Structure formats: C-alpha cells, structure tokens
A and B are shown apart, each in its own frame.
Chain A
Amino acid sequence: MKKIIETINVKKYFPIKKGIFLKTVGHVKALESVNFSIHENQTIGVVGESGCGKSTLGRVLTKIYNPTEGTINYYDKDGEKYDISNKINKKTNMKYRSDLQMVFQNPFDSLDPRMTIGDIISEPLQIHKVFKTKSEEKDYVKDLLKKVGLYEDYFSRYPHEFSGGQRQRIAIARAIALKPRLIITDEPTSALDISVQSQVINLLKDIQKENNIAYIFISHNLDVVYHVSDRIMVMYLGNVVEEADSKELFESPMHPYTQALMKSVPGWNPRERKLSEISLEGEPPSPIAPPPGCPFHPRCKYKMDICSKEKPTIKNADHKVACHLFK
C-alpha cells in the first residue's frame, strides 16, 4: 500500500506570552519529537494522557499549525513526494486538502452554527467543485446523511438542534464527503452511546474497505482503539513512548505508562469495582516544564537512577518503546 504521510522529528512548541509587551516567558512543549508514517488502508490509533499532544499532532498534520521543527512529507496518489512542513503552494495545498480530512474532538465547536447541516456537508464539495448541478450535490449529501444514520430531511436544520452524538455523525458525513485518503478522527465516538458507536465504527471500517482510506484514530477508549487499529502509538507529555502492532501492544505492553493505562480501564461488573484501587501516583507533569530525563519517571514505579538523568530514546524495532528498562 502507498505511503500517505511521514513525519520526521516533528516538534511543536507554543510560546507563552506575558505582560504588556507580550514577552515570551516559556513554551508549552506540546510535541517533542514525533516520527511515524501511515499508509493507505491503515489505521493508526493514538492514545495517551489528556494534554499529551494528540490533538496538536492532528492539527499539525492538517496544517492548522506549522511544526516548530521537523519535517512532514506528503505523498500524493502517484507517489510524488512533497515537503509540507511549512508554507506550501496553492496547488499542493488544494491536493492535500482533498486527500486529508479531520473530524474534531468537540462536535460543539466544529460545526458553524449559522450554516444548515446541508451547507456544512456540501461546503467541501463546492470548494472542490465536485458536482455540476445543485440537485446532484443535494442527492449525494442526503445519501451521506443516511449513511451515517441520520434522516435526510435534517438537511435544512441547524447544528444547535442536535445532540452531541448527532453532531458527531454530521461531522463524519462532512469528512467522508470528498472521499479523502486519510482521515484524522479526534475522539470520534466519545459522544456516542455504545450502540451508535458500534454503528459509526462499522461505517468507518466499511468506507475504509471501499476506498482504502487510512485513519489516524485518536481516542481514550482503549477497547475501541484496539478494535479499529492496526498499529497503536502511546503518547506521554508530547513524546511517543511506545508503538506496536495493536494485538502485540495489548498482549505485552512494555512501557509502564501503557501498563497503567490498561489497568485503569473500568470493568463491567458492579460487584467487582476496581476503581478505588487504581491509582497512578503523583501529579501529571506540566508540558511547560517537563521533568528532566524520562517524562514519565515522576509517576513510574520502576524508576531507576538513570531515569531522572537521561531521556530514553525510542528503539527502532517492530515493537518500539522508549524506556530504560529495555536496553
């Protein structure tokens, strides 16, 4: 399968400005150094602490932000390579934008309240001049609405009239409208009840098969991430700390943070509550002043001397992990 995107040491720092002269007094280190690549028909799951930089990664890839450092390469359908790390020309931009779509984390902010559902979904179709006539376009959009499990006559209603879950499906319909090659979904099902969630996941999988779409699937729901992903990246404080095939990762998680994550998934048995026993000790670290050495060491129960001194690098293997326990 063809490669769509690769990142090389991508870093994103946000300056913190203070005072009347807006002097930069520090940085939020949202992404430290991210390396990965994604191919057609592949799903990469991204999990990690809230605030670890998952959405920032999505926004850097969608070109909402430029990376502070590092390279993002984009490969078009013909395998031609473009460096899109910084400013890109109009033609490449157009191409890239029709190849990549993002479903945002928050369905409440991401839909323009003044536009009808029909307009919201048609907009990308119009920008890219997909249909010659209005009626063709309308039929296509109504079809999409049905596909994501909404009634076609919702076409002329406004976003505020819908529940969170309904809005998320509208956002998904918009994202798949142009049949992109890569969709970044940021918590796409967290607002849905589990039956609708299953419907949406089945839908995402179906359109993947039909069109060889690749997904970057950001989620806190480990069961769902396991289900949809071929590979999974675990992030902590702007760093990828583990990356592996999803079955491999769940069967033998290596990084202590990954292990803690997996232990914290609630069960489904009210007679065997485990919540109160779960506690990953310590304060979550600040991305403004990350701890020296391994970003996880202040909370890690296997902490060794070296962990606070030297930052572990991610080992290049099929099952990658950045931890001093594994040499």
Chain B
Amino acid sequence: MTEKVLEVKNLKTYFRTMEGTVKAVDGVSFDLYEGEILALVGESGCGKSITNMTIMGLVKSPPAIIEGEILYNGKNILELSKEDYRKLRGKEIGMIFQEPMSAFDPLYTIGYQLFEVCKTHLGLNKKDAKPKIIEMLKKVGIPEPEKRFDEYPHEMSGGMLQRIMIAMTLITNPKILIADEPTTALDVTIQAQVLNLMKNLQKEFNTSIIFITHDLGVVSELADRVHVMYAGKIIEKSDVYGIYETPEHPYTKGLLASRVIKEYKDRELPHIPGFVPKATNFPDGCRFAERCSFCTEKCQKVSPELIKTSEIHETACFLYGEDTNEKDN
C-alpha cells in the first residue's frame, strides 16, 4: 500500500462539564494513507467532529484533556507550539467545516477573506492573488465570481458559502483535507459537482481526504475505506465494499437498514431502537450492548476491542471472536 500520511494513536479528547467528564473521543486509532478517501460515519454525537477538530488543533487544552498521539511526517503534532500549529493548519492540513457560516468573518468580504489565506500561506500579494481566487471560485461553481468577490458572507445562501469555504481550503493545496459534512447543504446536482471536484483534485494533487458524512449514498460513491464510530470509539473498519456487502458490527448493520427507501412511504421508518449512552457515563461493557439484539452477559461486562476479521475488515464485537493476545498480556 501507499505511504501513511497521518497516524492517530489512541487519541482521547475529554471535556469536563458540570455533570462529569464527557468522553467525546475515547481511544481512537487509525491511519490515513496518501491519496485515499477515508470516510468517517456514525451516530450523531459519537465524536467524529471532535476527533478531527483535535487533529486540527482546534480543541483548546486545557480545559479539554487530550491524550494520545497524532503523527504527521513522523512528528507528534499534539506537541507543536500554537504558532507552528497555525502554519500547519491551512497550509498542510485543511478543514471544511460542517457549519460554513462560522468559518467566515461577517465583517469582511468573501474576496478579502480568501486573500488573507493567500497572503498568509502562499505569500501572495493582492494583484497575484485575485486571479487565483476568481479561478478557484469558478472551479467550485460560484456564478459571477467577480461580483461575489466583493460581497459579504450573509449575502450568500448556505450552499454557496459551503462552496466558497471549499475554495478557501483548497486554494493552498493542502496534503490532508478534512471535510466535515461538506455537501449536506447542497442540492444533489451541485453535490455531485462538488464531489467530482474533490475527487479530481484528490487525483491531481494526491491529497488524502478524511470525509465525515451521514450520507451513506455519498460514502458509497466516494470512499476508498470506511471507519464507523460509535460512542467515542471506532467499532468497524473496512474497505468500502466490505461495509456495504458484508457489514459486521450490529450497529453498522442497523445503520444500513435505516436507509429511507420508497417502500416505506406512509409507514414507520426502521431505525435502531434506543439511544446512545451518555458520554459522561459510558458503561464498562460494549457501548452498543443496550441496543443490541445479540447482547450477551459478557457484552455488558467487557468492552470489545477491534479485531481483524478478514484481510480488509476489523470489528469490535464478540460475535467475531476476541483479541486473545490482549487477554494473555
């Protein structure tokens, strides 16, 4: 396989709240390879965004507690100074956020904000930056980019802002792109354009992409590999075919079964019964146990670790055996 560009090792991000410690990310490990698209899916609130915000150095610690390692070019970036992190972010690792509005300052025009990025990370002056910005805005499908250049964020629709944010991130040509729900605000015809754009860009520049989404249709179209998260942990890893053709974890199966299809019209939609345990109060055993129809006594006591179930697949569920090495040690 190609080279690893990012290694996340046993990452934990905890928040202290009045009710106790929120274990938003609780021991997450994964690798990102050069030029791949890795999709991250899972229950809302399971820690997808916080995992990636931590990678981006956007979770303030303290107050948050962060443990583990994030290796980029062999260096643990969690140990970087604020200043070095800022340089890395934006230039080497770019992020497209779930909420586009918060990425922009309402007081400045779109053009000015894009120019700031070009100045800081590419050292461009106004004259050289403008054509580059206009071209990028065109690339992401903004009509009349010259006019939009002088407009303010609130004058754009949600979808348009999302595309401008994509332009702002891609303009520095980052090595790693983290995209958190980048197409949720777009209609499906524009979504298709944006996904194609990201895919072409990724091919052209060999960018590695972490793609967070709830849309399993998009995942099937785009991803090389898929990681499924549940309650702060990754509970299944596979290549994209494995997830759709031989899903293993009962949560993953439940998620796939929740697809809205035409036959359900005028009927109740199937879903996984129950709710995620609270992030302040995870049980000792499997975090999915309470909602799982295969739950045994053991599941309620012991938390299953990810084990390799095939060449391409890892699952954290006792239905697929257990990691004997770990037990012996």
Which A residues form the contact surface with B (CB < 8 A)?
14, 16, 28, 47-52, 55, 105-106, 108-109, 149, 151, 153, 156-157, 161-166, 187, 190-199, 201-202, 205, 220-224, 226-227, 247, 250, 260-261, 264-271, 273-276, 278-280, 283-286, 288-289
Report which residue of B45, B186, B195 has the largest number of chain A beta carbons within 10 angstroms of its beta carbon.
B45
Q: Contacts A270-B223, A275-B196 hold; do A250 and B215 have CB atoms under 8 A apart?
A: no
Report which residue of A266, A269, A283, A285 has the largest number of chain B beta carbons within 10 angstroms of its beta carbon.
A266
Q: How far is the CB of A84 from chain B (nearest CB, A)?
A: 25
Chain B residues with Cβ below 8 Å from A261 are 187-189
Chain A residues with Cβ below 8 Å from B221 are 266-267, 270, 273-275
Counting CB contacts under 8 A, is B184 at the interface? Answer: yes
Comparing B81-89, B254-262, B301-309, B316-324, the segment that makes contact with chain A is: B254-262
Instruction: Find out whether the CB atom of A149 lies under 8 angstroms from the CB atom of B275.
Output: yes
Counting CB contacts under 8 A, is B124 at the interface? Answer: no
Counting CB contacts under 8 A, is B119 at the interface? Answer: no
Chain B residues with Cβ below 8 Å from A48 are 187
Q: How far is the CB of A281 from chain B (nearest CB, A)?
A: 10
Comparing B4-12, B68-76, B97-105, B170-178, the segment that makes contact with chain A is: B97-105
Instruction: Find out whether the CB atom of B19 lies under 8 angstroms from the CB atom of A194.
Output: no
Counting CB contacts under 8 A, is B30 at the interface? Answer: no
Q: Can you list 28 A-B contacts (CB < 8 A)?
A: A49-B189, A50-B159, A51-B159, A55-B157, A105-B158, A108-B99, A108-B101, A108-B102, A151-B278, A156-B18, A163-B45, A163-B49, A165-B45, A166-B45, A191-B214, A194-B259, A196-B43, A220-B184, A223-B262, A250-B262, A260-B189, A266-B218, A270-B220, A270-B240, A270-B241, A275-B199, A276-B196, A284-B141
Tell me the bound Cα distance from A164 to B98 in angstroms.
8
Q: How far is the CB of A57 from chain B (nearest CB, A)?
A: 12
Contact among B186, B215, B258, B278 for A266, CB-based, below 8 A: B215
Q: Contacts A227-B264, A270-B220 hold; do A195 and B43 have CB atoms under 8 A apart?
A: yes
Q: Contacts A50-B159, A202-B271 hold; do A288 and B144 have CB atoms under 8 A apart?
A: yes
Report which residue of A49, A51, A161, A260 has the largest number of chain B beta carbons within 10 angstroms of its beta carbon.
A51
Q: How far is the CB of A141 from chain B (nearest CB, A)?
A: 18
Q: How far is the CB of A41 from chain B (nearest CB, A)?
A: 13
Chain A residues with Cβ below 8 Å from B18 are 156-157
Counting CB contacts under 8 A, is B96 at the interface? Answer: no
Q: Contacts A201-B269, A285-B143 hold; do A220 and B185 have CB atoms under 8 A apart?
A: yes
Q: Contacts A156-B18, A278-B192 hold; do A193 and B44 have CB atoms under 8 A apart?
A: yes
Q: Contacts A50-B159, A275-B196, A275-B222 hold; do A195 and B255 have CB atoms under 8 A apart?
A: yes
Contact among A199, A267, A270, A285 for B271, CB-based, below 8 A: A199
Contact among A192, A224, A270, A275 for B192, CB-based, below 8 A: A275
Instruction: Find out whether the CB atom of B272 lies under 8 angstroms from the CB atom of A264.
Output: no
Contact among B22, B190, B269, B270 for A49, CB-based, below 8 A: B190
Q: Which residue of chain B has its CB nearest to the CB of A260?
A: B189
Instruction: Find out whether the CB atom of B44 lies under 8 angstroms from the CB atom of A220.
Output: no
Tell me the bound Cα distance from A106 to B101 in angstroms.
9
Q: Which residue of chain A has its CB nearest to the CB of B214?
A: A193
Considering only residues 84-136 of chain B, those with a C-beta below 8 Å from chain A are 98-99, 101-102
Instruction: Find out whether the CB atom of B264 lies under 8 angstroms from the CB atom of A270.
Output: no
Chain A residues with Cβ below 8 Å from B186 are 50, 220
Chain B residues with Cβ below 8 Å from A51 are 156-157, 159-160
Q: How far is the CB of B96 from chain A (nearest CB, A)?
A: 14
Contact among A52, A162, A166, A220 for B188, CB-based, below 8 A: A220
Q: Contacts A191-B184, A193-B41, A275-B196 hold; do A288 and B147 have CB atoms under 8 A apart?
A: yes
Counting CB contacts under 8 A, is B42 at the interface? Answer: yes
Q: Which residue of chain B has its CB nearest to the CB of A219?
A: B187
Counting CB contacts under 8 A, is B282 at the interface? Answer: no
| Apart from A108-B98, A279-B193, A283-B141, 19 more pairs, CB < 8 Å | A49-B190, A50-B162, A50-B190, A105-B158, A108-B102, A151-B275, A156-B18, A164-B44, A190-B185, A192-B214, A194-B216, A194-B258, A205-B268, A220-B186, A266-B188, A270-B220, A278-B192, A288-B144, A289-B144
Chain A residues with Cβ below 8 Å from B271 are 195-196, 198-199, 202
Report which residue of A52, A163, A199, A278 has the largest number of chain B beta carbons within 10 angstroms of its beta carbon.
A163
Q: How far is the CB of A59 from chain B (nearest CB, A)?
A: 12
Counting CB contacts under 8 A, is B300 at the interface? Answer: no
Chain B residues with Cβ below 8 Å from A288 are 144, 147
Tell me the bound Cα distance from A226 to B102 in angstroms.
31
Tell me the bound Cα distance from A51 to B162 in angstroms.
11
Chain A residues with Cβ below 8 Å from B217 are 265-268
Q: How far is the CB of A244 from chain B (nearest CB, A)?
A: 15
Q: Which residue of chain B has its CB nearest to the CB of A236?
A: B187
Tell me the bound Cα distance from A227 to B255 in angstroms.
18
Q: How far is the CB of A188 from chain B (nearest CB, A)?
A: 12
Q: Contacts A51-B157, A164-B44, A191-B181 hold; do A220 and B187 have CB atoms under 8 A apart?
A: yes
Instruction: Find out whether the CB atom of B275 lies under 8 angstroms from the CB atom of A227.
Output: no
Chain B residues with Cβ below 8 Å from A268 are 216-217, 220, 244, 259
Q: Which residue of chain B has its CB nearest to the CB of A283?
A: B143
Tell me the bound Cα distance from A325 to B274 in angstroms.
50
